[in-house]
Amino acid sequence: MADRAEPLAALQGRINDAAFGGTTLMTVPFVAQVGLRVEPGSAAAGRVETALGLELPEVNRMSESGGRRAIWLAPDEWLVVAADGEERSLVALLEEAIAGEGSVVDLSANRTGLELAGPDARTVLATCCSLDFHPRAFGPGQCAQTLIHKAGVLVEQRGDDRYLLLVRPSFAAYVAEWLLDGMLGLKADAAA
């Protein structure tokens, strides 16, 4: 197939240059993303879990196994993420598992990823996101759909000080602008 466009290509240079004091921002390579809607606790949900080899996580959590992970979006909604190129097989697998009791939609192009990592990652987020990322309130394996100023994002904590933000492509530049600006301010603070 033809080449795919990176939604943040135009900002890539600035994203690369934003790093300071071990805190970095990166664009994330393409991944397969599939939207799953199924009644939690139903037989269909059970079949999905078997097919994926992982438990569908509870509220605000992510579960992961064999290179695939399911991210909780809503009481009957998850985003299933897998390696790039797997979207077709994943859709087929899930379609079969739900057997008409729910919905499976390929959303691989519907969101793009940004990863923010490092000692000041939390503070960068605090410049534009109202969630509490203090370790007492949010930790690895946790996720949330929330706002970066006026844009919706799905935030997932991938490890200590490591956050993945999945964003609709048309909002990606906007979200990046906020993160870059937060980093700019903190970089100046760090230098002082």
Q: In DSSP terms, which residues pair with 81 in a beta bridge?
A: 33, 69
Closest to another protein by CB, 53 or 155: 155
Closest approach, Cβ 129 to another protein, in A, equals 7
Closest to another protein by CB, 66 or 187: 187
Residues that bind another protein (CB under 8 A): 1-5, 7, 9-10, 30, 35, 37, 59-60, 73-75, 77, 100, 102-103, 105-111, 123, 126-132, 134, 136-137, 144-147, 149-152, 168-171, 173-174, 177-178, 181, 184-185, 188-189, 191-192
Distance of CA 109 to the CA centre of its chain: 13
Closest approach, Cβ 13 to another protein, in A, equals 15
Closest approach, Cβ 137 to another protein, in A, equals 7
Give the separation between CA 136 and CA 139, rounded to whole angstroms: 8
Closest approach, Cβ 65 to another protein, in A, equals 23
Closest approach, Cβ 59 to another protein, in A, equals 6
Closest to another protein by CB, 65 or 88: 88
Closest to another protein by CB, 117 or 186: 186
Give the separation between CA 124 and CA 110, rounded to whole angstroms: 25
Closest approach, Cβ 25 to another protein, in A, equals 15
Angle at 33 between CA 29 and CA 35, to 5 degrees: 160
Closest to another protein by CB, 65 or 134: 134
Residue 70 token pair: 């399911």
DSSP letter string, 119-170:
TTHHHHHHTT--S--STTT--TTBEEEEEETTEEEEEEEEETTEEEEEE-HH
Closest to another protein by CB, 52 or 178: 178
- CA nearest 82: which of 72, 90, 73? 90
Q: How far is CA 192 from each of CA 124, 129, 186, 189, rounded to the nearest angstrom?
A: 17, 24, 10, 5
